[in-house]
Amino acid sequence: MTKAIAILVARLIFGGAFLLATSMKFTGMDATAGYIASIGLPFPLFFAWAAAVFELGLALAFFTGAFFAEAAILAIVYVFFLAFAFHGPSRWEENPMEFGFFIDHFTLIAGLLFAAVHGPGEKLALDWRLSRARRSG
């Protein structure tokens, strides 16, 4: 039971982190769009809304365990993009703290990789996934 509780707590942390990011976007959509525009992406308001909806989907997957491995893999790609786009090497010279933000993304990626491989736990998770084949090993 201890393992199941630890996995559930980890899922709640992942879900909470993405839910917090989502709520910050929904309550400050113009600021989010401005931040997106600052790195030169086109259609910043569209991408701000897309990010908020995507992060909400990730939060729901982590909270419920539904499509968990798929969500973890998508989150890895997303967080990797965010690390380089918003905190990458081009920003380190103007603000050395950006390097710390950059590295923090990789600690999250490490946890997401572990989660993707080990899944949402056998207990306290919905058993939905894109592949119906059971995991082996």
Q: What is the pTM of this model?
A: 0.87
CA distance 18 to 3: 23
- List the chain pLDDT tens, one digit each, 137 residues: 688 889 899 999 999 999 999 999 999 999 999 999 999 999 999 999 999 999 999 999 999 998 999 999 999 999 999 999 999 999 999 999 999 999 999 999 999 999 999 988 876 666 666 555 544 44
Structural domain boundaries in the chain: 2-118
Element housing 127 (H / E): none
CA distance 51 to 126: 24
CA distance 106 to 122: 27
